[in-house]
């Protein structure tokens, strides 16, 4: 997905330069990408539970 493509981009960039700002940016991306992935997973689980409850109530 999108996070994987971003990681590949950072990997290529870090092959060309070892600049501190690139490392910091990469670290910040990794720190926030996990949060977004967890949030998406929780939202999907919530939607599945709501759907199950709706089906049971019929």
26: Cβ contacts below 8 Å, ≥ 6 apart: 10, 14
22: Cβ contacts below 8 Å, ≥ 6 apart: 10, 13, 14
Q: What is the reported pLDDT for 40?
A: 73
pTM as predicted? 0.56
Q: What is the reported pLDDT for 21?
A: 94
Q: What is the pLDDT of residues 1-56, one digit of tens each?
A: 788 899 999 999 999 998 999 999 999 999 888 776 677 777 888 888 888 888 88
Q: What is the reported pLDDT for 43?
A: 80
How far is 24 from 33, CA to CA, in rounded Å?
14
**Token code pair at residue 56:** 């049971």
Q: How many CB atoms are located within 10 Å of the residue 26 CB?
A: 17
């Amino acid at each position: 997905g999108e996070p994987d493509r971003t990681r590949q981009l950072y990997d290529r960039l870090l092959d060309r330069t070892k600049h501190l700002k690139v490392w910091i940016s990469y670290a910040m991306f990794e720190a926030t990408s996990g949060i977004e992935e967890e949030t998406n997973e929780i939202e999907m689980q919530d939607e599945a539970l709501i759907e199950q409850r709706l089906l049971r109530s019929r």
